[in-house]
């Protein structure tokens, strides 16, 4: 793979006796944006710090641009890796102005050139007039932009971002997210960032990895992560949905309490195998002539749609999204049909 | 793609902690031991009791020492409590004409060492002094005779000198009680007085107790002021045992008794403070002040004004008057020698103490095991040890080392070696290190707190390392804290009297030592120039403190 920039083979890290990262492998190509997604404590930040060179490996190895930069017992120091990093708290130097912060990593250049690079980058992140401000004179979002500009200034091949948007409010997150994606793509910098917010991951990442308890469960496109989750945890963690138990009766058909459900994916398990079927809200369509009757047990108004939790059988619930002008109170009965394209099954 | 082996040659080992970290821990443990050893040696002096001397002490001076010490503790304790809390309440919660500047002017007496205040008062009230002169010029005033001496006078002087400790902490606590808290108390049905006694005072109690403990420790440690008044306490007895009787073990036994008093004060403080920590800073709006008017406002302004005048303005005016008449003869080469000795000691002590404080701060960041924490805790207790006690402990430890070295040397066939460490600058610096480490610790550790680990990591991902990293990130971020700490230590060392007096090399005079010698001869006029120098030097830190507390922003 000639254009692989970052290659991580089966790495593991531990703090004292606790294994924080256990067998992570992934590839990232030049200019590609990857995202590690997972609940807090899943090891995603440890993964970033291992790539940056702050955590020693106990297993596996890391290659950057064909160079072996980390393995157990050895690691290129962080200052020689040429990897930029944006910290969760931004870590701007409080004694330096925005422009001086951005210019911090520029070395071997005349003063004037460093200044002009810093100014240009600050303009690129939309802070043209604020280059002389000190970090405490900037808002959270502005500090974040300075931190990103500082990380890309020395033209690293890879930028790591640790929950870069977690301290910002929701509106700002989306705007900054697309701005930063634009900046990274324009500079041709690959990035790996870490978040616990799936919307953020979907917005920015070309590839998304879902992590749990130190392991990477799936490394895939956003579409596949959502529609073809590789493991139960991924199905649960990404998007909304409910798992319904059933019995496989053909390679691509399941008998459930909602009836026989067909899909376009074939599973290798024998007929009669007990399985769990993932049903997303968009798999359940309201239909006055539908074969399934559900009782509304809870509802959440979301503007254009209302999300209903329907009880369709003893201990069986599904989610259903209905245009919000159709209003059903709690306890109402609603006819639906199941419309599944990909059959997502897990062994039960 | 390169092979792994080829690349390993240029890779470096990544350790969980940077190399050399164990040195930090070892340093912290050493600092803890440095504080512990002189104390252990003091109590060790009881193993070779000086029976004769001790019997003499016990029958003659000891009852008086105990009586005097108790009297001082009770008197100064009550005085600083009333004065400190009362003034703090007036300036923090009330409004009256002149409050804004009286608020910080009340901190100024901190710039006046107690012994300076003491000798100025002696000079003012002495038979040929200005007060007597004014009295005699009044009709019928000629028959009034009194002497500025005795317990009451000493208590008064020390109260004026040490009330700012209570004032500062109580004031911060009163200011820290927000409008919300008071309004909540009122809504829950408490009247204004009940609010004060059931909410304000309990909330401020930990701070007030801490301030009181500081004032009492200073009282126990005071040597200069009591010796001006010929008032015998443990510190003067230690001095006499050492220089009068040349009996270091007897001095050590007295020192360990004094240390017991200090320990009792510390324990009492912990007890009274209980589990409460210092007040929390108020969020939101500050509570509105009580506006005083009419005679109440006049009384408040007069009371605070009198304290500022008596504790600072008048003594400084008297010093200036003396200096005006004596400067012509006193401002000569000897003065510059004393000043340079003083500054040299202060500078070297700042260097040593700052290194110690940095080491402790870094060790505390990296290690959290019990041993390290205990060492850190122990080394910050040094501030509680009175200078004279410390001097005896350091002297005993060093002469112990000297004797062993001498024995070794003679065993090897050498001549008499004589003292190497005892009575050297090194022993003085060690005493300063132990005593003032806690002073440097405050600003240094708050500076280290600004140095978040992510800042260092950010600098490293941007390619900075080694000296570059230190010069561009560590130093600029630490500089304000280090400068503050150095300033505080230099001034503390300049003012320090008992340890300097006892440990200095022969003939090595500092300003404080000269003040002691001039005042013990009753030569107030000549003591004025060194004293004024100390006051001017101390004003810097006091103004810094006043600004810091005024803004309520504890940034170092």
Q: Which residues of A touch B467 (CB under 8 A)?
A: none
Do the two domains B21-56+331-408+416-520 and B61-322 of this chain adopt the same fold?
Answer: yes
User: Is B143 an interface residue toward A (CB < 8 Å)?
Assistant: no
CB atoms within 10 A of CB A151: 25
- Residue range B177-188: average pLDDT? 80
Q: Which residues of A touch B16 (CB under 8 A)?
A: 56
CA distance B441 to B446: 8
Q: Which residues of B touch A60 (CB under 8 A)?
A: none
CA distance A198 to B120: 74
Instruction: State the smallest CA–CA distance between residue A212 and chain B in angstroms.
Output: 24
The string over B165-204, giving b where at least 16 C-beta atoms fall within 10 Å of a residue's C-beta and e elsewhere, is bbbbbbbbbbbbbbeebbeebeeeebeeeebeeebbbebb
* Mean pLDDT, chain B, whole residue set: 83
Query: Quick one: closest CA in A to B1, which residue?
Result: A66
β-strands A316-323, A33-37: how paired? Answer: unpaired
Specify the pLDDT at position B11.
34
**Position B7 confidence tier, pLDDT thresholds 50, 70, 90:** very low
In this complex, do A73 and B465 lie within 8 Å of one another by their Cβ atoms?
no
In this complex, do B14 and A75 lie within 8 Å of one another by their Cβ atoms?
yes
CA distance B512 to B501: 8
Q: Map residue B191 onto helix, strand or coil.
A: coil
Sign for the CA dihedral angle at B171, B172, B178, B182 comes to: negative
CA distance B199 to B185: 7
User: Is A301 an interface residue toward B (CB < 8 Å)?
Assistant: no
pLDDT higher than 70, residue A146: yes
- Residue A26 is given by DSSP the state E
Percent of chain A residues past pLDDT 90, beyond the cut: 43
**Position B556 confidence tier, pLDDT thresholds 50, 70, 90:** very low
Q: Pick from A53, A43, A45: which is nearest to A74 by CA?
A: A53
In this complex, do A87 and B458 lie within 8 Å of one another by their Cβ atoms?
yes
Q: Which residues of A touch B461 (CB under 8 A)?
A: 52, 78-79, 81, 83-85, 105, 151, 160
CA distance B516 to B224: 7
The encoded tokens of residue A79 equal 């200052």
* Adjacent-strand bridge partners of A309: A298, A319
CA distance A332 to A328: 6
DSSP of B5-73, one letter per residue?
HHHHTT-B---SS-TTHHHHHHHHHHHHHHHHHHHHHHHHGGGS--HHHHHHHHHTTHHHHHHHHHHHH
Q: Which residues of A touch B465 (CB under 8 A)?
A: 77, 79
In this complex, do A105 and B463 lie within 8 Å of one another by their Cβ atoms?
yes
- Residue range B28-53: average pLDDT? 81
Highest mean pLDDT: which range of A168-172, B52-56, B166-170, B267-271: B166-170
Query: Quick one: closest CA in B to A5, which residue?
Result: B1
CA distances from B93 to A95, B176, B291 (A): 36, 11, 9
pLDDT (tens digit, 9 = 90+) per residue, A192-210? 999 988 888 988 899 999 9
**Position B373 confidence tier, pLDDT thresholds 50, 70, 90:** confident
Specify the pLDDT at position A60.
93
CA distance A83 to A156: 5
B199, B187 contact by CB (below 8 A): no
Q: CA angle B11-B12-B13, nearest 5°?
A: 130
Specify the pLDDT at position B13.
34
* Residue of A20, A57, A87 to mutate when probing chain B, most B C-beta within 10 A: A87
CA distance A244 to A266: 18
In this complex, do B14 and A107 lie within 8 Å of one another by their Cβ atoms?
no
Lowest-confidence region among A79-88, A147-156, A213-222, B13-22:
B13-22
Q: Map residue A108 onto helix, strand or coil.
A: coil
Specify the pLDDT at position B155.
95
Specify the pLDDT at position A309.
92
Percent of chain B residues past pLDDT 90, beyond the cut: 30
Specify the pLDDT at position A15.
83
The encoded tokens of residue A318 equal 């599904």
In this complex, do A87 and B457 lie within 8 Å of one another by their Cβ atoms?
yes
User: Is A107 an interface residue toward B (CB < 8 Å)?
Assistant: yes
* Adjacent-strand bridge partners of A321: A307
pLDDT higher than 70, residue B6: no
Q: Which residues of A touch B472 (CB under 8 A)?
A: 104
The encoded tokens of residue A49 equal 């710090």
In this complex, do A68 and B8 lie within 8 Å of one another by their Cβ atoms?
yes
Q: Map residue A11 onto helix, strand or coil.
A: strand
* Residue of A62, A95, A151 to mutate when probing chain B, most B C-beta within 10 A: A95
* Mean pLDDT, chain A, whole residue set: 89
Q: E strand or H helix at A307, and its extent?
A: strand A305-313
The encoded tokens of residue A168 equal 């910002």
CA distance B302 to B351: 44
Chain centroid to Cα B426, Å, comes to 21
pLDDT (tens digit, 9 = 90+) per residue, B236-280? 999 988 888 777 888 888 888 898 889 898 888 888 876 665 545
Contacts of residue A230, Cβ cutoff 8 Å, sequence gap at least 6: A217, A218, A220
Which class for B96: exposed (0-12), middle (13-18), buried (19 or more C-beta within 10 A)? buried
Percent of chain A residues past pLDDT 70, beyond the cut: 99
Sign for the CA dihedral angle at B148, B151, B154, B156 comes to: negative
User: Is B475 an interface residue toward A (CB < 8 Å)?
Assistant: no
φ and ψ at A175, to 5 degrees? -65, -50
Q: Which CATH architecture has domain B61-322?
A: Orthogonal Bundle (1.10)
Please give the domain boundaries of chain A with CATH numbers for all domains.
4-235 (3.40.50.300), 240-347 (2.40.50.140)
B485, B544 contact by CB (below 8 A): no
User: Is A88 an interface residue toward B (CB < 8 Å)?
Assistant: yes
Q: Which residues of B touch A151 (CB under 8 A)?
A: 461-462
pLDDT higher than 80, residue B146: no
Instruction: State the smallest CA–CA distance between residue A35 and chain B in angstroms.
Output: 20
User: Is B368 an interface residue toward A (CB < 8 Å)?
Assistant: no
CA distance B123 to B531: 13
* Residue of A79, A94, A118, A147 to mutate when probing chain B, most B C-beta within 10 A: A79
CA distances from B385 to A49, B248, B255, B266, B432 (A): 46, 18, 10, 11, 11
CA distance B493 to B439: 11
In this complex, do B464 and A67 lie within 8 Å of one another by their Cβ atoms?
no
**Position B14 confidence tier, pLDDT thresholds 50, 70, 90:** very low
**Position B2 confidence tier, pLDDT thresholds 50, 70, 90:** very low
ipTM of the complex as predicted:
0.81
pLDDT (tens digit, 9 = 90+) per residue, B325-365? 888 887 888 889 999 999 999 999 999 999 999 888 888 88
- Residue range A104-130: average pLDDT? 90
A58, A12 contact by CB (below 8 A): yes
In this complex, do A93 and B450 lie within 8 Å of one another by their Cβ atoms?
no
User: Is A71 an interface residue toward B (CB < 8 Å)?
Assistant: yes
The encoded tokens of residue A178 equal 């697309």
Q: Which residues of A touch B15 (CB under 8 A)?
A: 56
Which class for B417: exposed (0-12), middle (13-18), buried (19 or more C-beta within 10 A)? middle
pLDDT higher than 50, residue A228: yes
Instruction: State the smallest CA–CA distance between residue A274 and chain B in angstroms.
Output: 47
Which class for B144: exposed (0-12), middle (13-18), buried (19 or more C-beta within 10 A)? exposed
**Position A98 confidence tier, pLDDT thresholds 50, 70, 90:** very high
Q: Which residues of B touch A52 (CB under 8 A)?
A: 457, 461
Lowest-confidence region among A38-47, B112-121, B372-381, B457-466:
B372-381
The encoded tokens of residue B511 equal 């300003």
CB atoms within 10 A of CB B296: 13
Which of B457, B462, B477 minimises the CB distance to A54? B457
Contacts of residue B408, Cβ cutoff 8 Å, sequence gap at least 6: none
DSSP of B247-266, one letter per residue?
-HHHHHHHHHHHHHHHHHHH
CA distance B217 to B228: 19
Instruction: State the smallest CA–CA distance between residue A169 and chain B in angstroms.
Output: 22
Specify the pLDDT at position B367.
80
The residue extents of the domains of chain B are 21-56+331-408+416-520, 61-322
Q: Which residues of A touch B5 (CB under 8 A)?
A: none
CA distance A305 to A325: 8
Q: Map residue A28 onto helix, strand or coil.
A: strand
The residue assigned the tokens 């600092």 is B31
B235, B223 contact by CB (below 8 A): yes
Query: Quick one: closest CA in A to B11, which residue?
Result: A76
Q: Map residue B242 onto helix, strand or coil.
A: helix
Interface of B with A in 328-367 (CB under 8 A): none
Q: Does domain B21-56+331-408+416-520 have CATH number 1.10.3720.10?
A: yes
In this complex, do B462 and A150 lie within 8 Å of one another by their Cβ atoms?
yes
- Residue range A31-57: average pLDDT? 91
In this complex, do B15 and A73 lie within 8 Å of one another by their Cβ atoms?
no
A301, A324 contact by CB (below 8 A): yes
B227, B183 contact by CB (below 8 A): no
Which of B10, B458, B469 minimises the CB distance to A91? B458
Q: Which residues of B touch A66 (CB under 8 A)?
A: 1-2
Interface of B with A in 3-22 (CB under 8 A): 4, 7-8, 10-16
Q: Pick from A1, A28, A36: which is nearest to A200 by CA?
A: A36
Instruction: State the smallest CA–CA distance between residue A81 and chain B in angstroms.
Output: 8
User: Is B100 an interface residue toward A (CB < 8 Å)?
Assistant: no
Q: Which residues of A touch B454 (CB under 8 A)?
A: 87-89, 91
**Position A170 confidence tier, pLDDT thresholds 50, 70, 90:** confident
Q: Which residues of B touch A45 (CB under 8 A)?
A: none
User: Is A2 an interface residue toward B (CB < 8 Å)?
Assistant: no
Q: Pick from A308, A282, A285, A287: which is nearest to A296 by CA?
A: A308
Q: E strand or H helix at B193, and its extent?
A: helix B192-195
Q: Pick from B494, B512, B517: which is nearest to B439 by CA?
A: B494
Q: For residues B170 and B149, which has the higher predicted lDDT (pLDDT)?
A: B170
* Side-chain-side CA neighbours of residue B555 (13 Å): 8
- Residue range A284-309: average pLDDT? 90
């Amino acid at each position: 793979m000639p254009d692989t920039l970052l290659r991580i083979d089966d790495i593991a890290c531990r703090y004292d006796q606790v294994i924080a990262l256990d067998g992570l492998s992934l590839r990232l190509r030049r200019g590609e944006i990857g995202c590690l997604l997972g609940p807090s404590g899943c090891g995603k930040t440890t993964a970033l710090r291992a790539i940056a060179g702050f955590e020693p490996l106990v297993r596996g190895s890391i290659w950057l641009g064909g160079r072996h930069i980390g393995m157990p017992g050895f690691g290129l120091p962080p200052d020689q890796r040429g990897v930029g990093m944006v910290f969760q708290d931004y870590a701007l130097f409080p004694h330096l102005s925005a422009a001086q912060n951005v210019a911090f990593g520029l070395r071997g250049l005349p003063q004037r050139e460093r200044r002009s690079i810093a100014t240009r980058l600050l303009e690129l992140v939309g802070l043209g007039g604020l280059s002389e401000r000190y970090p405490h004179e900037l808002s959270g979002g502005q500090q974040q932009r300075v931190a990103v500009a500082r990380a890309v200034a020395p033209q690293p091949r890879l930028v790591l971002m640790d929950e870069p948007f977690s301290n910002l409010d929701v509106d700002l997150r989306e705007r900054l997210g697309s701005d930063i994606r634009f900046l990274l793509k324009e500079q041709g910098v690959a990035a790996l960032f870490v978040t616990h917010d799936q919307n953020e991951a979907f917005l920015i990442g070309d590839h998304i990895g879902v992590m749990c308890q130190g392991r990477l469960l799936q490394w895939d496109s956003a579409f596949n992560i959502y529609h073809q989750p590789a493991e139960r945890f991924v199905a649960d963690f990404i998007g909304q949905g409910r798992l319904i138990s059933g019995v496989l009766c053909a390679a691509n058909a399941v008998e459930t309490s909602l009836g026989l459900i067909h899909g376009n994916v074939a599973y290798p398990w024998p007929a009669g195998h007990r399985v769990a079927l993932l049903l997303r809200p968009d798999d359940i369509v309201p239909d006055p002539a539908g074969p399934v009757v559900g009782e509304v047990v809870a509802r959440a108004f979301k503007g254009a749609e209302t999300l209903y939790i329907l009880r369709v059988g003893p201990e069986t619930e599904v989610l259903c999204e209905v245009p919000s002008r159709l209003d059903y109170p709690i306890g109402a009965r609603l006819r639906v049909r199941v419309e599944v394209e990909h059959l997502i099954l897990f062994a039960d | 793609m390169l092979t792994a082996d080829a690349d390993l040659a240029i890779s470096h080992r990544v350790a969980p902690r940077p190399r050399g970290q164990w040195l930090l821990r070892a340093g912290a443990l050493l600092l803890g031991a440095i504080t512990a050893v002189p104390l252990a040696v003091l109590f060790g002096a009881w193993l070779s009791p000086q029976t004769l001397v001790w019997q003499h002490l016990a029958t003659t001076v000891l009852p008086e020492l105990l009586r005097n010490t108790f009297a001082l503790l009770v008197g100064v304790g009550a005085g600083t409590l009333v004065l400190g809390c009362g003034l703090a309440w007036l300036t923090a919660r009330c409004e009256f004409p002149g409050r804004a500047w009286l608020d910080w002017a009340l901190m100024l007496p901190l710039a006046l060492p107690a012994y300076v205040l003491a000798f100025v008062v002696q000079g003012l009230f002495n038979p040929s002094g200005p007060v007597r002169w004014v009295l005699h010029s009044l009709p019928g005033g000629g028959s009034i005779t009194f002497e500025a001496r005795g317990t009451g006078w000493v208590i008064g002087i020390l109260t004026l000198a040490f009330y700012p400790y209570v004032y500062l902490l109580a004031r911060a606590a009163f200011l820290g009680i927000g409008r919300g808290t008071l309004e909540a108390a009122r809504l829950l049905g408490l009247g204004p007085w009940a609010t004060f006694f059931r909410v304000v005072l309990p909330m401020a109690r930990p701070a007030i107790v801490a301030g009181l403990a500081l004032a009492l420790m200073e009282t126990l440690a005071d040597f200069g002021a009591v010796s001006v008044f010929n008032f015998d306490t443990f510190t003067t007895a230690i001095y006499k045992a050492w220089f009068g009787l040349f009996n270091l073990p007897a001095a050590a036994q007295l020192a360990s008794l004094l240390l017991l008093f200090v320990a009792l004060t510390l324990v009492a403080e912990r007890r009274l403070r209980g589990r409460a920590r210092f007040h929390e800073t108020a969020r939101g709006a500050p509570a509105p002040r009580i506006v005083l008017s009419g005679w109440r406002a006049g009384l408040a302004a007069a009371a605070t004004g009198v304290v500022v005048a008596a504790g600072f303005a008048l003594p400084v005016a008297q010093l200036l008057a003396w200096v005006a008449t004596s400067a012509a003869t006193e401002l000569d080469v000897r003065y510059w020698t004393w000043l340079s000795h003083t500054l040299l000691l202060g500078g070297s002590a700042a260097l040593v103490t700052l290194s110690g404080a940095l080491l402790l701060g870094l060790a505390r960041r990296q290690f959290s095991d019990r041993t390290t924490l205990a060492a850190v805790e122990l080394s910050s207790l040094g501030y509680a040890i009175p200078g004279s006690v410390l001097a005896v402990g350091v002297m005993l430890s060093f002469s112990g080392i000297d004797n062993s070295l001498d024995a070794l040397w003679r065993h090897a066939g050498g001549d008499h070696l004589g003292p190497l460490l005892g009575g050297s600058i090194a022993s003085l610096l060690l005493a300063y290190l132990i005593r003032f480490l806690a002073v440097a610790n405050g600003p240094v550790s708050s500076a280290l707190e600004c140095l978040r680990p992510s800042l260092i990591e950010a600098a490293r991902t941007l390619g900075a390392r080694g000296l570059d990293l230190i010069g561009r990130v560590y130093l600029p971020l630490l500089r304000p804290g280090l400068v503050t700490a150095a300033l505080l230590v230099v001034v503390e060392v300049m003012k320090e009297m008992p340890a300097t007096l006892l440990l200095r090399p022969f003939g090595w005079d500092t300003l404080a030592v000269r003040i002691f010698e001039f005042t013990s001869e009753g030569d107030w006029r000549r003591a004025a120039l060194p004293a004024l120098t100390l006051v001017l030097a101390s004003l810097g830190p006091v103004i810094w403190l006043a600004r810091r507390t005024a803004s309520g922003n504890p940034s170092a």
